Amino acid sequence: MLAHGFGCDQRMWRDITRGLSDRYTLVLFDYVGSGRSQLSAFKKSRYRTLEGYARDVNEICQVLELADVTFVGHSVSGTIGLLASLAEPEHFARQIMVCPSPCFLNDPPGYHGGFERSDLEELIDLMDKNYIGWASYLAPLVMGMDASDELIGELADSFCSTDPLVARTFAEATFFSDYRHRLAENQKPALILQSKDDALANESVGHYMHAQMPHSTLNVLDTQGHCIHMTHPSLVLDAIHAYLDGSSPIPKP
């Protein structure tokens, strides 16, 4: 099961699915309010926290009667997948987190999430005042300045295609939440794929998660940007295959 990050949809996995479909049965979806999902199903009361999105994941597993799932989550979906597996562990075998972060806020001196609260509040304020400008500012930051104009434009278009209320609700649930306290509860094998140069989730976040999460494996890729499944799909695929084949580095009991 592959789960997209904030402001994205399942199409962002296209280069990864090509390398997985010959070996695995794949389940892709759009969170409510994203991609081609049914906007009328969106309820702010449900999606103001990440638990609402985790409920979506488990409801998909229930309807499709899924078990032994490898959950591949990009960015905030790494945390969503963790919450889903803690709530209903019977569906899941393992988790692969691509550029995850349990908390995007700095908490000195021991944790550098990447942002001061005031910075994120200004970003949300920009979303309200100039939605197109917000998308144009955020897309290159997320994708990475070395990414192609085509990929940056695709991400900006994805941001702009999301309903503003949905985007703000998902953004607040993503960037102002702190799930560091849930990491130690993890009971499933987990691969943390961290980008070496990532403006949203720096390398130290990956090391922090690895130290806090039982049964975790850390692999820091020599990549730039937060959407490495789009900018460096072959490296991500190689890391996924290596992990599933049992040869990924830095295991932790």
Catalytic residues, by residue number, are 75, 198, 226
Phi-psi region of 43 (alpha: psi -120 to 50; beta: other; left: phi over 0): beta
Helix, strand and coil percent figures for the chain, each rounded to 5: 50, 15, 35
**Burial group, residue 36, by CB count within 10 angstroms (0-12, 13-18, 19+):** exposed
DSSP code for 184: G
**Separation in Å, CA 146 to CA 7, 157, 253:** 20, 18, 36
Of 54, 31, 50, 51, the closest CA to residue 163 belongs to 31
